[in-house]
Chain A
Amino acid sequence: MNDSVSAGAHARGMRGDHVAGAVLMAFSALVAWENRSYPLGSLASPGPGSVPLMLALILGGLGLLIIVRGAASPLLNSIEWSEARRGFVLLLACGVATFVLERIGYRLSMIALLVFMLGVVERKKPLPTALVSIGFAYGSYFMFATLLKVQLPLGPWGL
């Protein structure tokens, strides 16, 4: 962390902290705006809107300070996003699995997710992919749903 600080300290341009601070300020503004429908109450009897508003103001202030003092932070361009693509794909795959979890059942969605991650993302051979996927789905189901009575979704085909 310190290396990047000193390396980028003298170059000109947009800093990481400028962006981060701005996003935090925008977030705090959004919260304050959404908060307007909740009554603020009085000092003696604070309403449901009072604490969120206070926090939003604090966060906005902190965001501003982060921007002001952000000149020495790493350049925005210096932040590496090399793993972002694969990370996004993984997150998306999990999202799809979550979407179908209660629709097709736990075991089917886990098999699908594992087949995708092992077979497509990691390019494993079909046999280990199939073995691990099916083994994991059934093994974990047996362990947690059958033995420990964790309630897992079954889907229309009982899987």
Chain B
Amino acid sequence: MKNGLACVLLALTAAAASAQDVYPSRPISMIVPFPPGGVADITGRPTAAALEKVLKQPVTINNRPGAGGKVGNAAVANAKPDGYTIMMALSSVSVLPEADKLFDLKPAYTLDQLAPVALISADPVILVVHPSVPAKTLPELVALARQKQGQLSFSTSGVYGALHLPMEMFLHALNLKMRAVHSTGGGPAITMVLGGHVDMTVGGPAAITAQVNAGKLRPVVGWGARRHEAFPNVPTFKELGYDIEYYIWAGMFAPKATPEPVMRVLRDATRKAVEDPDFRTSMARVNSPVQYLDAPEFAKYWAADAKRLAEVVRVIGRVEEQK
């Protein structure tokens, strides 16, 4: 009995080993470190579907939410680098190890454990205020903030979260003070402004378009390099003379030691996948235009972005000890 079992196991292992000749020879798992329905998930699913067509192997989505993406990011960083585990991560991937450092925690993963494959989308965020706030433009808002001496308030998606960092960039660049009310996600952050409990927050285009059109929120300024297509009347910090830029982006990653030939297959497949018409339609529907960058350019973009965000996190420091 024992011998028989051992034989079966041996045979199975051998079969698994021989099957790995040509990549990909079995289904690929794309880890999404957020729950279904989030930005990463909504970007990941059409990408996976398009990749499937190119690679002729199933690409299954595996949601591993937890700790603002840390659980899933760490899972991929420590996964077997064989190309069968890839990830659709958000810009927060660069912030989390930095925040860990801030609190003297052993980081769950480090950035050099991940190899960028491609950038899929990048959305600039926009500052929105409750309609009762008298300021209509950025200079007016800054004047109001100075006059109120730190009594204006903003909500965030969580401390050091995707909607906290851009706000801190803005406050730091203009040397302003405001009250930060942290919540547990983008939805609660916007709800708090809609109810008039705080004065402003930051939101991605998809989350705020309908509210802005209905007059429930007023956009003031954006973080992009150029004005956003959906908000042609909203100026950017850049054109108002401040060197602040911030995007929430979604990009594909693989574990660092993934062999070069496998990486090339993945990169080629992604390049073809983003041209897929179905993929384009899905992305346009969620108001998130495709911003494709191949691995070398994405690596450069990522390095610059990570450096910028790490700087912001250090400037914020431990919020508990600011006062």
Contact = CB atoms under 8 A, between A and B. Distances in A.
Contact of A41 (B13, B62, B320): B320
Given A151-B62, A157-B9, A39 B320 contact: yes
Contacts of B323: 45
Contacts of A47: 320
A65 to B, nearest CB: 33
Interface string A33-73: 00000010100010110000000000000000000000000
B16 interface: yes
Contact of A156 (B16, B62, B63, B320): B16
Interface residues of A, number: 9
A71 B323 CA distance: 50
A156 B13 contact: yes
Nearest to A39: B320
Contacts of A156: 12-13, 16
* Residues of B in contact with A, size category: under 10
A105 to B, nearest CB: 11
Contacts of B12: 156-158
A45 B13 CA distance: 58
A151 B321 CA distance: 42
Interface string A120-135: 0000000000000000
Given A151-B62, A157-B9, A48 B320 contact: yes
Interface of A is mostly: loop
A49 B38 CA distance: 31
Nearest to B16: A156
Nearest to A37: B104
A89 B225 CA distance: 63
Interface in B64-93: none
B13 to A, nearest CB: 7
A158 B45 CA distance: 24
Interface string B1-24: 000000001001100100000000
A45 B322 CA distance: 11
A122 to B, nearest CB: 22
Interface string B280-320: 00000000000000000000000000000000000000001
Nearest to A157: B12
A7 to B, nearest CB: 49
Contacts of B62: 151
Interface string A57-101: 000000000000000000000000000000000000000000000
Interface of B: 9, 12-13, 16, 62-63, 320-321, 323
16 contacts: A39-B320, A39-B321, A41-B320, A45-B323, A47-B320, A48-B320, A151-B62, A151-B63, A156-B12, A156-B13, A156-B16, A157-B9, A157-B12, A157-B13, A157-B16, A158-B12
Top 8 nearest A-B pairs (CB, nearest first) are A157-B12, A39-B320, A47-B320, A151-B62, A41-B320, A48-B320, A45-B323, A156-B16
